[in-house]
A and B are shown apart, each in its own frame.
Chain A
Amino acid sequence: MEYFIELLLSGLTRGAIYALIALGYTMVYGIIGLINFAHGEIYMIGAFTSFIVATILSIYGFPLLAIIVLAGLAAVIWSASYGYTIEKIAYKPLRKAPRLSALISAIGMSIFLQNYVLLAQTSEFLPFPQLIPDFPFMEPIAHIVGSTDLVILVTTTIAMLILTVVIKYTKIGKAMRATSQDRTMAMLVGINVDRIISVTFIIGSSMAAIGGLLIASHIGQINFSIGFLAGIKAFTAAVLGGIGSVPGAVLGSVVLGLTESFATGYVSSDYEDVFAFSLLVLILIFKPSGLLGKVESQKV
């Protein structure tokens, strides 16, 4: 039983990690119908920014809490400006082009950013400082769920709640939903669509940056290539949950994380990905729009 709980919690943590990245994917897709493959790289840039800031601040002997806040803030600003710029440079000019063009542009952006960080920083793995301290009250159950795991779980939950509230109950959220439903009509009723799309990219990138900080602190190392696999997994999770839906992204991530964890625990980690992707195929066969995705009716 304890083994089951251990696997459950490790699966939940994994799911929460995927969710932090998947939220950005799903938001961008929800608004402009683009799979932003560069999102994983935004996450990686967030991790690098917080690494650099945290290292500098710790040299000057700042307290841990200040380091977390400042590094997180720097990562959010930096990643958000990347997200904003990428949208303006790589996606906006292609908004009227076929979907495939924007997709290829996204893949190109992803490769460009990876190599840019490789050249500007290093190809080596860098040790990421442990920013989340080991809480004393977690000590008795530290072998089941660590302090970092707890922080990630809590952050993901809060992030999901805030996003849902923003989208459902605020003016900008309403504008986002309108843009998502019908861009032309939204423009006609006076919504600044360009601004809404920029805001979406900024929110998504900020989430990825926070994810970068937390996940790198959890893993303890960063490298220019960490965004790729994380991005693919988060994208899978977003599709699983129904791409375009915020609760769907979180649910999909948790399902993916739990599947991987139980597959490793009860079958074999050799088949971890086999199970995860078989599940994806099965769900898409029976529910093509994902777990919580909306069925789009084709207009005749």
Chain B
Amino acid sequence: MSKRVQSLVVCLVASVAFATAGFTADTIKIGVAGPHSGDLASYGLPSVNAAKLVAEEINAAGGINGKMIELLIEDTVCKPEIATNTATKLVSDGAQMVLGGICSGATKAALPIYLDAGILVMSPSATNPPLTQSGDYPNFFRTIAPDDAQAQLDVDFAINNLGLSKIAVIHDKQDYGKGFAEFAKKFIEESGKAEVVLFEGITPNAIDYSAIVQKIKRSGADSVIYGGYHPEASKIVTTMKKKKVDAVFISDDGVQAQTFIDVAGDAAEGVYASGPKDTSTNPLAKKAIEQHKEKYGTGPGQFFDNAYSAMLAMTNAYAKAGSADLDALKKVLQSESVDTPVGSISFDERGDAIGVGFSVYQVKDGVFVEVE
């Protein structure tokens, strides 16, 4: 390397360093951590877009208390071992708040590092219940309901609204479905008003589910709570119809999709499934989606609304608290509600958003309709 090039490089590095240093004094640094590459990137990138959109809007309006928002975007690939590195990097880069942790596992691994540094973390998508319920991470908040909230809702609905008492709990042996089914079983047993007459896992993608349907029939169940996705659910409800088993079918948001109805046809009629609360009529959600379409030319992806809401909640808390002090931020988050695309939300003392959650839907005339 020639002398001239060397000095040029030194100059460049120095100028960049000075530029950042000059910038630091009056910016609010918000880390955005999530999978931005790899097979789960589709879960993480919409949050980056949401963060950019909110930051741009706030900066265009003069920032928060005169301070501009600066985003520090770092990839975790949803892998715990990388997420800890990302966390260390964000902390040393001076992040004051962090949007993210998309996957529960990676988020959990990174949380202690943020906690030691006293940084607030808000996830749009990590649904693992112990993240908030264990009390281990007082710096953690989320704008999505935990996994067990859905099971709780479905069980309450089955027992209290529909008056069912003999429930068969079936799942697809996969992480999500089995987790949901286990919570459902626990809540049914705790309620004392109903019993679990059957608890079994089925093989996903199997050709035929008539044996398990016969077993459901024999168990005398008046309802089936199913944890899993729509391909198996539609096979089960069609087989139930063919075998004349008229138990009520209740499932989760893996089933609450139009494809389920298209495939199961008549057999889908009357099926209940919980799913995220309908926010499509919320003006803020409409605005956020419009912004996304304008800037990126496409509709937003997974968890966009939740990420957008998390950004609004964090920036609002920062504006009210006047600093990134964890206790001050927590106080604002827990005491004041803020209008977001997922509704007007505040947070409980564990860090779960109040007002975000699921509704029960029922198939009526070929579409899922929210049950009042």
Contacts and interface: CB of A to CB of B under 8 A. Distances in A.
B61 to A, nearest CB: 41
A131 to B, nearest CB: 13
A233 B215 contact: no
Contacts of B5: none
Contact of A219 (B201, B202, B230, B235): B235
A143 B244 CA distance: 6
- Interface size classification for chain A: 35 or more
Interface in B178-220: 200-203, 205-208, 210-212, 214-215, 218
Nearest to A149: B210
Contacts of B264: 127, 220
A14 B211 CA distance: 10
A219 B210 contact: no
A127 B203 contact: no
Given A127-B265, A223-B231, A269 B207 contact: no
A160 B259 CA distance: 36
Instruction: Name the residue among B203, B210, B244 with the largest chain A CB count within 10 angstroms.
Output: B210
Nearest to B212: A269
Instruction: Name the residue among B203, B205, B230, B264 with the largest chain A CB count within 10 angstroms.
Output: B203
Given A127-B263, A220-B263, A13 B231 contact: no
Contacts of B231: 125, 221, 223
Given A125-B263, A146-B242, A269-B212, A220 B207 contact: no
- Interface size classification for chain B: 20 to 34
Contacts of A223: 231
B265 A269 contact: no
B211 A219 contact: no
Given A269-B200, A270-B201, A10 B235 contact: no
A17 interface: yes
B205 A229 contact: yes
Contacts of B263: 125-127, 220-221
A269 B201 contact: yes
30 contacts: A6-B214, A10-B210, A10-B214, A14-B207, A14-B210, A125-B230, A125-B263, A127-B262, A127-B265, A142-B244, A143-B242, A143-B243, A143-B244, A146-B243, A218-B207, A220-B238, A220-B263, A220-B264, A220-B265, A225-B205, A226-B205, A228-B205, A229-B207, A260-B211, A264-B212, A265-B211, A265-B214, A269-B203, A270-B201, A272-B203
Interface of B: 173, 200-203, 205-208, 210-212, 214-215, 218, 230-231, 234-235, 238, 242-244, 259, 262-265
Lowest 6 CB-CB distances: which A-B pairs, in order?
A10-B210, A264-B211, A143-B244, A127-B263, A261-B211, A221-B263
